[in-house]
Amino acid sequence: MPHGLPRKLRIAFILQAVMVSVAIVVGVYLISAVIKHSLMNTALKEEAAHFWQLYSASTAQPPPNTYNIRGYLVPRGHSPMVLPENLRELRPGFHELEQDRLLVLVDEQAPGRLYLVFLQSQAERMAFYFGTLPIILTLIAIYVVSWLTYRASKRLVSPVSWLARQVAAWDPRHPEVAVLAPDRLPADVQGETRQLAAALHGLGRRVSAHVARERDFTRDASHELRTPLTVIRVATDMAMAEDSPPRVARALQRIQRAGRDMEAVIDAFLILAREAEVEPQSEEFDVADIVLDEAENARALLIGKPVDLEVTLNARPRLHAPPRVFQVVISNLLRNACIYTERGRIDVILEQDQLIVRDTGVGMTAEAIVRVFEPFYRVDPDRPQGIGLGLSIVSRLCDRFGWKVELDSVPGQGTCATVRFQG
């Protein structure tokens, strides 16, 4: 799991450590600057004030001369030549002599000028002991606590990560749920994770049973539905071989056509029920032959209606697919056109790369076109024909074989359905 919870935790702790480190480094720099400037400036000013207080009491008071501070006094009117050369040009105020690594306060009062010199190395040593060192220790403590927290968090999420890896490895058709059985779970899978594993184990078992039932139903339905259709086809073939009145012959022909349609629908349903990886039995067929045959069948739905159905073959393309699948597609499109067209015409136009079925029926609104491919959706629920599955089946079959079905409709003027064979 490249983007799993452990990786996110690791990134979170690394970012936390980096941000804390940056903040502490900036803090060290600011503290050093504060100690060297503000604090030292304040300390030297207080030292100068204390000296002037003692000096006012006795002019024999010598300038401060300690381990950290060196002082020089230049009485008013005296030459500054008694000072070290690097201090002679300094004006009153606080100065930082980077080259000599000195911090100097020049304090001028009525008696004269006092020069207090503090070694910068001493200031840096104070900044280190009172600023840098505590912050470094704090940083180390934060790192140690973060590392221990990360290890503890990793131990807490490792059962969830293990569970996620097991579920991610499942084959949807044959999920390996036995590894999540309660007696096979690792010892560290406890609490809510164990409850989740038990729930997934039960879900996986139900999914496996459901898939097995669906597979058995598909196999059994294929066999059981074909058996009576075969009997009907053989019986009608035998009956048609004998001399029969025209009315009986027409009825037998309709029975045969209905049987062929039923076989095509069964094949289409079985193809949709199979996994996408299972390739159906396909062959190369002439599209025009199926179009002409289905148009002839559709004319029986227009008996008694002032509707003309015309087929125009501008090309005779050949497709590689199950012929009965395309038969179901064109049959549903023609059936819808016949049901929703009360007068006018239905044009079936076959091009090299597409099939067009155009009618002058009731048409559809834009809202209906958006939902027309949904199962059980009907544009006109008051019509007795159909249950709203035809276009849903057409859409799913076209998606299965890489075709594209499009609808263009105007209410009251008709609908144009286009099946594109390529893209």
* Rounded mean pLDDT, 33-56: 82
Is 103 found in the same domain as 32? yes
Answer positive or negative: Cα dihedral of 19, 23, 28, 33.
positive
Is 330 found in the same domain as 228? no
Is 216 or 337 the better-scoring residue by pLDDT?
Answer: 337
Is 289 found in the same domain as 274? no
0.75 exceeded by pTM: no
Domain count, the chain: 3
Is 25 or 173 the better-scoring residue by pLDDT?
Answer: 25
Task: Give me the chain's average pLDDT, please.
Answer: 80
pLDDT at position 289 over 90: yes
Is 201 found in the same domain as 117? no
In a domain, 156, yes or no: no
In a domain, 152, yes or no: no
- 309-333: per-residue pLDDT in tens? 999 999 999 999 888 888 889 988 9
Is 67 found in the same domain as 29? yes
Instruction: Give, rounded to a whole angstrom, the gap between the first and last alpha carbons of the chain.
Output: 35
CA atoms of 84 and 74, how far apart (whole Å): 12
Report which DSSP code applies to 341.
Answer: -
- 153-185: per-residue pLDDT in tens? 777 777 777 777 777 777 766 677 777 787 777
Domain carrying residue 107: 5-146
Position 1 confidence tier, pLDDT thresholds 50, 70, 90: very low
In a domain, 124, yes or no: yes
- 59-116: per-residue pLDDT in tens? 888 998 887 788 999 998 888 888 888 888 899 998 888 787 788 899 999 999 999 9
| Backbone dihedral angles phi then psi of residue 405, each to the nearest 5 degrees | -105, 135
In a domain, 151, yes or no: no
Report which DSSP code applies to 37.
Answer: I
Alpha-carbon distance values, 32 to 43, 59, 192, 198 (Å): 15, 37, 50, 59
Last residue of a domain, one of 257, 280, 303: 280
Position 345 confidence tier, pLDDT thresholds 50, 70, 90: very high
